[in-house]
Amino acid sequence: MGLDDKLKNTAEEKIGEAKEATGKATDDKDLEAEGKADQAKGALKQAGEKVKDAFK
């Protein structure tokens, strides 16, 4: 279960990067902000997974 979560979190970060890049390229500030938010959410979830791993 931990590996699946880590993969999903990494995927969420990568999707966020793509959204941010697309937003910058098309001058879509909303899409750019959404991409940044997705990246932050994925990174926060990754940090949570690392904390859980530390206590195993």
Residue 27 is predicted with a pLDDT of 97
The residue with greater pLDDT, 21 or 3, is 21
pTM equals 0.83
- Which amino acid is present at 17? E
Question: For 28, phi and psi rounded to 5 degrees?
Answer: -100, 95
As a whole number of angstroms, the distance between CA 54 and CA 2 comes to 12
Are the C-beta atoms of 19 and 2 separated by less than 8 Å? no
Residue 52 is predicted with a pLDDT of 87
Domain ranges of the chain: 2-54
Q: Which residues of 15-50 are buried (b: 16+ CB within 10 A; e: fewer)?
A: ebeebbeebeeeeeeebbebbeebbeebeebbeeee
